[in-house]
Structure 1
Amino acid sequence: MKIPSDTSHTLTSPRLAWPVRRKGAALAVATAALLLAACKERPPEAPSAAPAATPATTPPVAAQPAPPPAAAPAAVAAAAPKRVPLSIQGVAAAGVTVRVKAVEIGADATVLDVSISFANRITDTTMLALADTYLQDESGARLHIKRPDNNRDITIREGETLDGQLVFMGAVSPSARKLKLVFNEGNQGDNIVAPGLVVDLPLQGA
């Protein structure tokens, strides 16, 4: 039977069908391989950067005043009182014995460490500051005694000993060589009411 001429190209030989399908599969495999290679060559995406931290605002610091300068050693030494140890004794005929154990020369006062005793068979008491009582320096300046509130005349009973300090108002020069201690200025040493007594106090080489 004769095949019509218009249908000569509609039928496909079985030998030609398989190569066509295989060619299409190969094209699909090649396309997939290209896509896979493209995926492998793509660099990994960098992680998104964390948002920058907002710097904390530091509150302004108030200026602190500078500490006062330390006192210079020379000024401290000048303010410290000068203490001179002594062992001087004076005796009045009325029975008074005065021992001076130290002199402390300060900026506002001069202080004597003393021990005062009284022994007399005629009277029970006597007074060491009834009249003017003072310290006198080399220039003749007088530092008068600061009378205690509870014993302004420095009364001492017979047979007693007073240990303590006599304070004289004012300071003498640290370079002074000697002082004079005067009790009851102008009175005699045998005055049993208020005996007079003068005691020299060497300050240099004592």
Structure 2
Amino acid sequence: MMAGVLTAAMLLSACKDHPADGPAQSSAPAAAPAPAPAPVPTPAPAPVPAPAQPAVAAQPAPSPAASAQSVAEARKIPMNVQGVAEAGLTVRVKSVEIGADATVLDVSISFSNRITSSTMLALTDTFLEDEGGARLQIKRPTDNRDLRVNSGETLNGQLVFMGATPASARKLRLVFNDGNAGDNLVAPGLAVELPLSGG
């Protein structure tokens, strides 16, 4: 009986010395996870150069010779020529300017008549005529197409005739109301010779 008790005590002691089977438990702290690698910056793409813009060609400045030529095309001839119509019309031409596209007369126009209050200088054809018979028609003002002049009034200004006078012309003929008589009160006819020999 004593031998059986000792054997049981030894078995219990042996059980205490050997822990039960199972996964071994480690008392060491768990290792920290390895840090993730830092992202490598991607280099920015190189800028693509813009396509070259075509150069704008500069406009050449007019040469002094060209400027002198354009000035030479215009010719101004001073004069003092007067024409009178029986109806009471007086026209004085103070200068003639001959340009590339027009011929301009600087004029003073007066009208005086006790019977009528006004007259018209361009009711019919009014023009400049050169020696060859070519006619430059008047450019009628939009606000006074018939060139009406009141009695007792004097108009100072310019009459423009469309077209250039030939450079070879030695005289011009200024005609108002072609075909009408000088005593026509409504639209008196008048022709004035303009010498260009002084230009």
TM-score after normalising by structure 1 = 0.66
User: Does residue 1:77 correspond to 2:68, yes or no?
Assistant: yes
What displacement does 1:137 show? Answer: 1.1
CA distance in 2 between partners of 1:122 and 1:195 (Å): 14
Counterpart among 96, 114, 117 of residue 110 in structure 2: 117
Aligned position for 1:53:
none
CA distance in 2 between partners of 1:72 and 1:158 (Å): 51
Q: C-alpha offsets along residues 132-155 of structure 1, whole Å, 9 cap, x if unaligned?
A: 000011111100001111110000
1:142-153 alignment to 2 at 5 Å?
142-153=135-146
CA distance in 1 between partners of 2:168 and 2:69 (Å): 13
Change (3 A) 1:202 1:190: same
Q: Is the 8 A contact 1:82 1:174 kept in 2?
A: no
Residue identity opposite 1:177 in structure 2: R
Q: Is the 8 A contact 1:123 1:192 kept in 2?
A: yes
- 1:130 counterpart SS class: coil
Q: Is the 8 A contact 1:82 1:104 kept in 2?
A: yes
Q: C-alpha offsets along residues 171-200 of structure 1, whole Å, 9 cap, x if unaligned?
A: 112332111100000011111110000001
Q: Is the 8 A contact 1:86 1:103 kept in 2?
A: yes
What displacement does 1:82 show? Answer: 1.2
Aligned position for 2:90:
97
CA distance in 2 between partners of 1:74 and 1:203 (Å): 26
Percent identity between matched residues is 66
Query: Unmatched 5+ residue regions in structure 1?
Result: 1-60
What displacement does 1:63 show? Answer: 8.7
Query: Unmatched 5+ residue regions in structure 2?
Result: 1-51
What displacement does 1:115 show? Answer: 0.4
What displacement does 1:204 show? Answer: 1.2
Aligned position for 2:132:
139
| More helix as a share of residues | 1
* Greater displacement, 155-164 / 71-80: 71-80
Q: C-alpha offsets along residues 148-175 of structure 1, whole Å, 9 cap, x if unaligned?
A: 1111000000000000110111111233
Q: Is the 8 A contact 2:99 2:164 kept in 1?
A: yes
In the alignment of these two chains, the number of paired residues is 148
Aligned position for 2:19:
none
Counterpart among 184, 195, 206 of residue 188 in structure 2: 195
Q: C-alpha offsets along residues 76-109 of structure 1, whole Å, 9 cap, x if unaligned?
A: 2332221111111000011100000111111111
TM-score after normalising by structure 2 = 0.68
Q: Is the 8 A contact 2:77 2:198 kept in 1?
A: no
Question: Which structure 1 residue ranges, 4+ long, deviate > 3 Å from structure 2?
Answer: 61-70
Aligned position for 1:166:
159
User: Does residue 1:87 correspond to 2:80, yes or no?
Assistant: yes
- 2:169 counterpart SS class: coil
